[in-house]
Amino acid sequence: MAMDDRTIIAILFHWAIAILLAPLFVGIISKTKAILAAKVGPSLFQPYYDIVKLFQKGVVYSRTTTWIFRVAPVIVLAVMLVLALMIPFGIVKAPIRFAGDIFLIAYLLGMARFFIIAAALDTGYSMEGMGASREAFFSCLAELALFMNFVTLAFKTKSLSLSSMIGADAPVRWEVFGPSLFLVVISLFIVILAENCRIPVDDPDTHLELTMVHEVMILDHSGPDLAYMLYASAMKLFLFMNILVPIITPIYSHDAVVGVIVFLAMLVGIAVTIGIVESSMARLRLNRVGNLLLIAFVLAFFGFVVALWKTI
């Protein structure tokens, strides 16, 4: 793949969008939750303030930790920044796309996970170990569901590149694959909730270490390290939402203004939906989370069966 000027411009454009927009949607989710709970809630831009504030703070390292603990935030954020180049934003195709990019996306996420878990175990504290153990377990099932969705989408579009699989270059034909796509969308939505540690899998606002998953793993990070971690998780949420966006985009317009409005509206819509889900239900008991993820898998699997049945 040659790196011509257009590719470089597209890369910079994608980075600009991901870096600038990502924390906003965390803000939108918490604003939605606050409004539904009849509170004023923090500003939409609170996540940005948090990150800026953390960059100005000092870093404290435990004597138990090794270099893994210091490297992990860098790797996790770098993975998310690279993934931002491989995921289409709305109907704008990803600047880097090739047959098989879905495997690289899945395994780069694995790389981030490896280091975040290793960093948690590096602190030598039981609560972080618990969070790491849960993360390792849930991600096994979430990965299964994610791959099942990839299989279904790839089978339908006969493509191995994420951009064409989810319809960033041509609209996904709902009238042909309607029922199957419907199942895929629900399944992907559950995967988004699980991978980004949202209710009902994990509660990002909890204050009890014993029950946390993602938050407890980054408990010992401070200052810029924590800023990296928070930025990375905001970006992960943004990227996962962007996997869903092209599938459900109703209007394909070549008019730039309409495109941008539709794109932002879809993202805000997903974020608000996540906020509503979070407000309307409690988190599941930890031993029930596995079943939720299996439901996501089974939905995607039935999506595949429906697609298969249509082709025979």
Partner 1 sequence: MEDMDSILRFPWHVPFGELFLKLDPLNALFLAAVAVLVACSSVYGIGYMRQYKGRKPLYVHVFFYVLLAASFVTVLLANNAILFLCAWETMSISTYFLIVFNDERSAARKAGFLYFIVAHSGTFCLFLMFLLMAQVSGTMNFDVISNTKFSSGLSGIIFILALMGFGVKAGFLPGHFWLPHAHPEAPSHVSALLSGIAIKTGIYGICRVLYILGVLPVWCGYLVLFIGVIAGLMGVLYALGQHELKKLLAYHSIENIGIITIGLGLGLIGKSCNQPYVSVLGFSGALFHVINHALFKGLLFLDAGAVIQRTKTGEIDRLGGVAKIMPLVSVLFLVGALSICGIPLFNGFMSEFLIYLGLFNGLFCLSLNGVVSCVIAILALALMGALALACFTKVYGSVFLGIPRETFPPQERPSSKLMLAPMMILAGICIWIGIAPWTVAHFTFCGGEYLSRIPSSTDHFSYVMGSLPAVIMVLIIFIAVASFLAFMKYRVSRGTLVTGRATWNCGYPVDSPKFQYTSSSFASSIVEYFKSVLFFKRHGERIDGYFPRHMTMHSGVKDFFEDSVFRPMFAKAVHLSRAVDKKNILFTQMYLMYIFIFLIFLMLWKLRG
Considering only residues 252 to 311 of the shown chain, the ones binding partner 1 according to CB under 8 A are 290, 304, 308
Q: Per rule CB under 8 A, is residue 240 in the interface with partner 1?
A: no
Given 50, 128, 195, 202, the residue binding partner 1 (CB under 8 A): 128
Distance CA 248, CA 10 (A): 23
Distance CA 32, CA 26 (A): 10
Residue 282 Cβ vs partner 1, minimum distance, rounded to whole Å: 20
Which residues, at least 6 apart from 178, have a Cβ–Cβ distance to it below 8 Å?
A: none
How many residues line the site for partner 1 (CB under 8 A)? Answer: 81
Given 43, 126, 253, 280, the residue binding partner 1 (CB under 8 A): 126
Q: Per rule CB under 8 A, is residue 88 in the interface with partner 1?
A: no
Q: With respect to partner 1, which residue has the nearer C-beta, 1 or 282?
A: 1
In DSSP terms, 299 is beta-bridged to none
Which residue type sits at 101? Answer: D
Given 6, 63, 207, 254, the residue binding partner 1 (CB under 8 A): 63
Q: Which stretch binds partner 1 (CB under 8 A): 71-79, 179-187, 234-242, 265-273?
A: 71-79
Given 213, 225, 233, 235, the residue binding partner 1 (CB under 8 A): 225
Q: Per rule CB under 8 A, is residue 223 in the interface with partner 1?
A: yes
Residue 254 Cβ vs partner 1, minimum distance, rounded to whole Å: 27
Q: Per rule CB under 8 A, is residue 214 in the interface with partner 1?
A: no
Q: Per rule CB under 8 A, is residue 220 in the interface with partner 1?
A: yes
Residue 198 Cβ vs partner 1, minimum distance, rounded to whole Å: 19
Q: Is the dihedral of CA 45, 46, 49, 54 positive or negative?
A: negative
Q: Per rule CB under 8 A, is residue 61 in the interface with partner 1?
A: yes
Q: Per rule CB under 8 A, is residue 129 in the interface with partner 1?
A: yes
* Max CA separation in the chain (angstroms): 62
CA proximity to 115, closest of 135, 143, 85: 135
Residue 109, judged by CB atoms within 10 A of its CB (0-12, 13-18, 19+), counts as: buried
3-state secondary structure 252-279: CCCCHHHHHHHHHHHHHHHHHHHHHHHH
Q: Per rule CB under 8 A, is residue 235 in the interface with partner 1?
A: no
Distance CA 128, CA 220 (A): 9
Given 21, 34, 36, 78, the residue binding partner 1 (CB under 8 A): 78
Provide the 3-class DSSP secondary structure of residue 66: coil
Neighbour tally for 260: CB within 10 Å: 14
Residue 146 Cβ vs partner 1, minimum distance, rounded to whole Å: 8
CA proximity to 26, closest of 303, 271, 311: 271
Q: Per rule CB under 8 A, is residue 96 in the interface with partner 1?
A: yes
Given 22, 29, 48, 122, the residue binding partner 1 (CB under 8 A): 122
